[in-house]
Amino acid sequence: MNVFASLPVVDDGANARLHSRLVDAAAAEGLLDVAYRTVDTPVGQLLLAATELGLVRVAYAREGHGQVLELLAERISPRILNAPGRLDAAARELDEYFAGTRTEFDLPLDFRLSAGFRRTVLAHLPGIAYGSTASYAAVAQLTGHPKAVRAVGTACATNPLPVVVPCHRVVRSDGTAGGYVGGPEAKLALLSLEAAA
């Protein structure tokens, strides 16, 4: 007797259509609070998540995409679905960035995962021009708290929107790269990409 003969055949196309209908129904009923998808990039697979307000999270694979989704469920809402279509604009802009044809992002952003001084630091990072860098000390000066160099480092390390909010452009005063949520290789790759443009 062949036990596998009695198992139902999985139809990937039907599963995809069913998932798409689920996403559409959840969105129509106001039950989709966080949409997410993953994209492949030269610095690895990135998880993108968005709320109705905008892009709320960009996460490197090394952060653990499952853990990031759990944190989003705790901090924002458990109503999370893989809804790639809601993140088409973000995926397109990231593709353009990595292709060297986009120097700044034009996406609505939801900063609810960052508050206080950390949020203040993030507000200054887009002012660091594409292809340029600024030291942690220089960013601290911009915030009006010149002695808060370590706090600037912490804000960059906890940036919920790396790449899009360019914390990779913040380096040590001696010009060395410093730490980065995506790892030192990713930071150097982003800086090299921008320098080559």
End-to-end CA distance of the chain: 64
59: its two tokens: 């996460």
To the query of whether residue 167 is one of the catalytic residues in this protein, the response is: yes
Whether 87 and 60 have beta carbons less than 8 Å apart is answered as no
Cβ count near 189 (within 10 Å):
18
The CATH fold assigned to 3-99 is Double Stranded RNA Binding Domain (3.30.160)
Whether 126 and 166 have beta carbons less than 8 Å apart is answered as yes
CA gap 41, 27 in Å, rounded? 28
pTM: 0.85
Q: SS3 of 80, please?
A: strand
Residue keyed to tokens 């220089």: 138
Q: SS3 of 9, please?
A: coil
Please report the DSSP string for 73-86 in residue order.
HHHT-S-EEE-GGG
Which helix or strand (DSSP H or E) is residue 38 part of? Answer: strand 34-41
pLDDT, position 32: 81
Q: Write out the chain's pLDDT in tens, 197 residues.
A: 555 556 566 666 655 555 455 556 555 666 689 999 999 999 999 999 999 999 999 999 999 999 999 999 999 999 999 999 999 999 999 999 999 999 999 999 999 999 999 999 999 999 999 999 999 999 999 999 999 999 999 999 999 999 999 999 999 999 888 889 999 999 999 999 999 86
Which residue among 34, 72, 167, 170 is the active-site one? Answer: 167
What is the separation of C-alpha 85 from the centre of its chain, rounded to a whole number of angstroms? 16
- Domain ranges for the chain: 3-99, 116-196
Cβ count near 98 (within 10 Å):
18
CA gap 146, 138 in Å, rounded? 8
- Say yes or no: domain 116-196 is CATH 1.10.260.40: no
